[in-house]
Amino acid sequence: MSLEPRKPATESQPDRLPCDPAAVVLPALAALGAVAAIAVMPFVGQDRVPLAGRGRRKPSASIRDLETDCLQLQEIFRRLQRNLRSAPAGQAVASSPLKFGLFGVDLASADLVAEIARVMGAAVRDTGDVMRAVEDGGIEAPEPLCHAFGECQERLSKLIAERASVRLAIDEGLAVSLRLTELVQDLKRRCQD
């Protein structure tokens, strides 16, 4: 059995298969969920004593990077909205529940998929750094602000629990990213660096 060399792509036969919308949207929602995890701060380490000199990043750098992640997530969800509207089969897929196996629309280019993966990793890292800064006293996170992060978590959970459509998941993802950006900017003003 011999392997045939791969034939070059033609216009009638594209070189890459379109990404499954769930494989694109779920990681972007997961990145939002990582940022919204700041909601747990009132319940974590309530009696901890701040440890100075633990070799961590400055709180101002961490919160600035997290703000950048939120702004990048806004742009990602805006691009997903545009791509869904302009895709040939976008309207049919847009009203379908967010699930794996919807290969009818090319929702994201390889560059956008790579950007989502990069931002997801950065958001997880930067959220962890901000949470450590809150624990160590470098950023003041009052309970009402943490509850606002929790409301974002609830909005994201509702999308999954109610099997939201692809369009609703993208639209709500943009709305949550806008709200999380506001909340992170509020934390930034409270940074004691």
Give the single-character DSSP code of 95: T
Name the residue among 193, 74, 75, 68 with its Cα closest to residue 134.
Answer: 193
pLDDT digits (tens, 9 = 90+) for 90-136: 666 677 777 776 666 667 788 998 999 999 999 999 999 999 998 88
- For residue 152, pLDDT beyond 90: yes
Name the residue among 14, 19, 1 with its Cα closest to residue 114.
Answer: 19
d(CA 45, CA 47): 5
- For residue 6, pLDDT beyond 50: no
pLDDT digits (tens, 9 = 90+) for 23-57: 889 999 999 999 999 988 776 655 555 555 555 78
| Tokens read off for 173 | 């993802």
Task: Give me the pLDDT at residue 10, please.
Answer: 47
Count Cα neighbours of 99 within 13 Å in the Cβ-side half-sphere. Answer: 7
Q: pLDDT tier at 13 (50, 70, 90 boundaries)?
A: very low
Rounded to the nearest 10 degrees, the angle between the axes of helix 166-189 and helix 21-36 is 30
Q: pLDDT tier at 191 (50, 70, 90 boundaries)?
A: confident
d(CA 163, CA 105): 19
State if pTM tops 0.95. no
pLDDT digits (tens, 9 = 90+) for 68-78: 999 999 999 99
| Tokens read off for 106 | 């090319």
Q: Which residue has the tokens 């747990």?
A: 40
Name the residue among 114, 113, 183 with its Cα closest to residue 152.
Answer: 183
The answer to whether the CB of 130 falls within 8 A of the CB of 66 is yes
d(CA 5, CA 133): 54
The answer to whether the CB of 32 falls within 8 A of the CB of 176 is yes
